[in-house]
Structure 1
Amino acid sequence: METDAPLVRVEGLGKTFGTGEAAVPALADVTLQVAAGEVVGLRGPSGSGKSTLLNIIACILEPSAGRLRLGGETVWDGAYRVADLRRLRRERIGFIFQFHNLLPFLTAVDNVALAMTLLGTELAAARARARALLDYLQVGRRAEAMPARLSGGEAQRVAIARALANRPRVILADEPTAALDSERARVVMDLLRQVAQDQQAAILVVTHDEKIFDRFDRMIALRDGRIEAAG
């Protein structure tokens, strides 16, 4: 494992759905990397392959070609090189979605704690870290609130806390601000930038939201499954 390698590196990545005449290429020869402390935006029209790429990096979708490395370790190279993908996802990757997907029957603090208890953390320790994360994301006063009582911005902060629960170094976000107004969207992105710096995490964000483009270190544009521009 390369200790100074980018936290996310994909090389010549390709994905094709179907076979023969029914084959549909979704990604072709995609190469990119995201370093520790970096927040990178991924944009492009619908059908350009953004979500496919995010799901491959998340080890949810298997690529058809290329190589995927996380934290300097080869995860996929013709086949998965990691024995327990479920554990890898829980320990090393944090997920943030457009809709927060909080469990409606758990409080904010217990939604965050659940991610840790699934990996064997004692409930008391999990709840203590969950409260600390909610305080860090400036929503600690809502720790005992049910999701239905949270504003959109508050719910998204709780979702970010849940993504950070197991201290992942790779954080993947799919349209995390699409449901928020301009002010709340910028607050969420500023929090993600703070997370990237404080925890030296690599953050990759799929977005169409032009009002947050200035919050990224770099933008990568996809079109028809290929990188069109990066800068």
Structure 2
Amino acid sequence: MTVDTRRVIVNVANVSKHYGEGDARVDALKSVDLSVHAGEVVALLGPSGSGKTTLLNIIGCIIDPSAGKVILDDELVYDDRWLRGDLRKLRLDKIGFIFQFHNLLPFLHAQDNVALVLKLAGKSSAEAQRRALELLDYLEVGHRKDAMPALLSGGEAQRVAIARALANSPRIILADEPTAALDSKRAGIVMDLLRKLAAEHYACIIAVTHDEKIYDRFDKVFHLRDGQLDRGEAM
């Protein structure tokens, strides 16, 4: 598939987030603008408390902005209020999440961990299992489909988690410290997979990270400090 790199998949416009009022007010984000295009893999860097996770959670439709607009995959989803009533379905439709720790359900084997997301989206059990195995094979862990999470290596578990994030073919993949629990070799493999996924699935990937060993795998790096975002630098 040829990716139209001109297409903006995530567009955050003048987004702010504050907690409390008056003397107790804390501004977590201040008039943030961010655009990420199809096929791009970008990083959000910054010290603890700079607003990285807050911004990721706003893009993920998990917390409310205090002001601004959020456009996801050509749909205006927030304009001073959420414009969809069912945010859970919005997340299922548009967004995949990858975390530092795989967060796989310990009582389900690898294939069922992936299939569960598809079932929640309304797929039949047979279709969910077929798609789950297809994704595990694509990520080269299909041979571990019957393994319980406790028996997977760190790299295998993270690949299963990536398969779960891709289950509903989201255009947006949000990753919170996706390689922090991996050694340098496995971190590089995971980032190369994410780059491949962005290109082949016409998606964008936004990662919060402190992992210096993967900085060269990003197309662009944005820095957050005191709730303000820079314009980003190409890598």
Partner of 2:91: 89
Q: 1:8-45 CA distances to partner (integer Å, 9 max, x unpaired)?
A: 00011100011121110000011011111110111111
| RMSD over equivalenced CA pairs, Å | 0.9
Give the deviation of 1:119 after TM superposition.
1.2
| CA distance in 2 between partners of 1:138 and 1:43 (Å) | 30
Normalised TM-score (structure 1): 0.97
Partner of 1:176: 178
Give the deviation of 1:168 after TM superposition.
0.6
| CA distance in 2 between partners of 1:12 and 1:70 (Å) | 15
Partner of 1:49: 51
Which aligned pairs between 1:112-151 and structure 2 lie closer than 5 A?
Answer: 112-151=114-153
Counterpart of 1:103 in 2: which secondary structure? coil
Give the deviation of 1:83 after TM superposition.
2.2
Q: 1:185-228 CA distances to partner (integer Å, 9 max, x unpaired)?
A: 00000000010011010110000000000000000010111013
Partner of 1:211: 213
Partner of 1:185: 187
| CA distance in 2 between partners of 1:12 and 1:100 (Å) | 32
Are the aligned partners of 1:153 and 1:180 in contact in 2 as well (CA < 8 Å)? yes
Are the aligned partners of 1:222 and 1:229 in contact in 2 as well (CA < 8 Å)? no
| CA distance in 1 between partners of 2:178 and 2:22 (Å) | 36
| CA distance in 2 between partners of 1:192 and 1:228 (Å) | 24
Give the length in aligned residue pairs: 228
Moved over 3 A (4+): none
Q: In the alignment, residue 206 of structure 1 is paired with which amino acid?
A: V
| CA distance in 1 between partners of 2:65 and 2:15 (Å) | 7
Where structure 1 has 5 or more consecutive residues not aligned to the other structure, the ranges are none
Counterpart of 1:195 in 2: which secondary structure? helix
Percent identity, aligned pairs only, is 62
* Stretch deviating more after TM superposition (12-21 or 94-103): 12-21
Partner of 2:154: 152
Partner of 2:3: none
Counterpart of 2:230 in 1: which secondary structure? strand
Counterpart of 1:141 in 2: which secondary structure? helix
Partner of 1:98: 100
Where structure 2 has 5 or more consecutive residues not aligned to the other structure, the ranges are 1-5
Partner of 2:61: 59
Partner of 1:8: 10
Give the deviation of 1:229 after TM superposition.
4.9
Partner of 1:77: 79
